[in-house]
Amino acid sequence: MSVRTKIILLLVPIIALLVAGGLYFLNKGHKKVVVENEALQKEVEPQSLVSDGVKLNDEAEPLNDIVEEKIEEAKEEEKIEKVVEEKKDEKEDVKEESEEEIDFDIKNKLVSWGYTKSSTRTIDTIVVHSSYNALGGDEYDTDLLIKEYKEYGVSPHYLIDRKGKVYRLVEDKNVAYHAGVSETPDGREGVNAFSIGVELINNKEDEYTKAQYSSLNNLIDYLEGKYKMKYILGHDEISPGRKTDPWNMNWKKVDR
């Protein structure tokens, strides 16, 4: 037997012994890990857990019920947000309508006749008139009507055309010749001296336009904001038997 063979035969049992020992220790370690894991599981096994404020034990609600509850809450919040947005839109709509109603502009078209200058008078009356161009041409032509005023040497302070446009012909501070022989309910005569004259373009048969009523009310509000008004009267009320305008006036539509 050679030396080489003898060495191999000697090493075989040693190698076998080492392999067997390694397997033994590996197996023992595995068992230990399993035991330790089991002990850990027993150690940390919860009696109850709290997650997001919900107790998860035998008495807890099923998970599906919780999910459905959250979904319903989300839907309810979405409905509330939708209602809030709708109310906001409604308020915006109302705001826009209100701004349109008070959208009020006065265009100066000052004349050089039909008034006397003044700077000390007290204003407490508004007199509403109606008139139209009777000299030929379009009855409702603003420039032709103003030309007619010039023919007679008269003028109101304000003129409202069929579209509701408001023109200032005479400044408030001046005495305009619009009322003629007249008297207020409290017995004061010469109404021109303490009044503002407002003419609406209309003939004796037609009705006033919606725009005219709107502008008239806006103008009244504007003047009441500047002066302490006592009366808002028609021409026929201060000159009964002599004047019949404002023709076809629906006073229920006028703020007085």
Q: Is 199 a catalytic residue?
A: yes
Burial 98-111 (b: 16+ CB within 10 A, else e): eeeeeeeeeeebeb
**What pLDDT is recorded for position 64?**
55
**What pLDDT is recorded for position 173?**
98
> Taking the domains of the chain in order of start, what are their residue ranges?
56-101, 106-253
* Average model confidence (pLDDT) across the chain: 78
Residues above pLDDT 70, as percent of the chain = 60
**What pLDDT is recorded for position 96?**
40
Quick check: 175 and 114 in contact, CB under 8 A?
no
Cα separations in angstroms, 219 against 84, 86, 197, 251: 36, 34, 11, 15
Class of domain 106-253: alpha beta
What are the percentages of helix, strand and coil residues in the chain, rounded to 5? Answer: 45, 15, 40
Q: Which residues pair with 126 in a beta bridge?
A: 196, 232
- The encoded tokens of residue 251 equal 């006073």
End-to-end CA distance of the chain: 142
Q: Which residues pair with 54 in a beta bridge?
A: 51
The predicted-structure confidence for 166-202, as pLDDT tens digits, reads as follows 999 999 999 999 999 999 999 999 999 999 999 999 9
For residue 22, pLDDT beyond 60: no
**Catalytic residue selected from 72, 199, 205, 237:** 199
The larger pLDDT score, comparing residue 151 to residue 92, is at 151
In angstroms, the CA 123 to CA 228 distance is 7
